[in-house]
Amino acid sequence: MLIDLRIPVPRVKLIDLEDAVQITSHYHVHQLLGNAEFAAPEVIQGAPVSLGTDIWSIGVLTYVMLSGVSPFLDESKEETCINVCRVDFSFPHEYFCDVSHAARDFINVILQEDFRRRPTAATCLQHPWLQPHNGSYSKIPLDTSRLACFIERRRHQYDVHPVPNIKSFIMSRMNPGT
């Protein structure tokens, strides 16, 4: 993520220079690289990805930027993957007490397990939370101290290697009787 400060109104730019792939058909199979806490369930499960896969990442980034914590991070990479695949997240009061209901709804709308239920980028831009005239945003500045800690933790991670055998591990944990 970059912030362009050279213009009168700073603009956030989401970038991915290491792992970007142009999707030329409706779906593309993608190897899980990077940190699983930002990956959509279909990436972790080794299923085909689509443009909706990137929308998922926007939901995770929004959560992190508003709270300074990760929605899915757990003690191990495997547990984090399980949390992602189960879409197991919440809005703890200690992190979201000053975050509007519209912002939480925006995240809920995006973090859908089924990529076909995720909104398009154009639909996201029409969400009430992103409309400047609706007044649903908080006038209280966000506490960025947790976000600074989050960024510092990420700086020390080496997360560009494939996660070995994660698909079989996730499937065995999510379907223990099989």
64-104 per-position pLDDT tens digit: 988 888 999 888 888 888 999 999 999 999 999 888 899 99
- Token pair, residue 176, equals 């223990």
Specify the pLDDT at position 3: 65
Q: Which pair of structure tokens corresponds to residue 168?
A: 């079989």
Three-state DSSP class for 59?
A: helix
Q: What fold, for 28-174?
A: Transferase(Phosphotransferase); domain 1 (1.10.510)
pTM of structure: 0.71
Question: Exposed (0-12), middle (13-18) or buried (19+): which is 53, by Cβ within 10 Å?
Answer: buried
Please give the distance of CA 123 from its chain centroid, rounded to a whole number. Answer: 17
How much is the pLDDT for 158? 47
Half-sphere exposure of 171 (CA within 13 A, CB side): 9
- In this predicted structure, the answer to whether residue 13 has a pLDDT above a threshold of 50 is yes
